[in-house]
Amino acid sequence: MQTKILGTFFTIIFVGILVLFYKLLNQSDEPRVEFTEYLSPSKKTIKKAPEDAMWVKELAQKDNKEFSFPVNELFMQIDLRESISRKIKSYKLVIDKADTYSLFCIVQTLSTFDLPYVIVKEQKAPMIYLSDKSDTVLKKIVVELEKYDIKSKIIEVWL
């Protein structure tokens, strides 16, 4: 029985191989020929932009006032001693605290009075210079700062 099964198995394999060879040998040998039509690329015309519309020239003619520095802080030191001949009477606000909250309160207080001021950062404590002609406003600033528990006094200085 095993010999019959093996015989039929080999016969099926042999017939399969014969069919495969027959299909391989009877393929058509005619090559496929495909013709494509060659189209030459059309010549592109290059249009020149008018001289006044070119972006490079437009950027070159920009005014420098529109430039802004790409930094958070900018330090500039300008010596104005030669251009300023006379001294100006100003006031210095002397404070007892120099922490960030106190400085925040001082800046907000000075901003509410719409008073021109300059804060100069020193090593120990910042120096705050005020420019105002009325003593009443300066006294109000001292009173207002006492509400925030900031003891201060105003000294007259010549800058």
pLDDT, tens digit (0-9, with 9 covering 90-100), for 70-118: 677 777 888 777 776 677 788 898 888 788 888 888 888 888 888 888 8
> Can you give the pLDDT at residue 51?
62
Taking the complete model, does pTM exceed 0.85, yes or no?
no
Exposed, middle or buried by CB within 10 Å (0-12, 13-18, 19+), for 22? exposed
Kindly list the structural domains of the chain, giving each domain's residue range(s) and its CATH number in brackets, ordered by start: 93-158 (3.30.70)
Termini Cα distance of the chain? 124
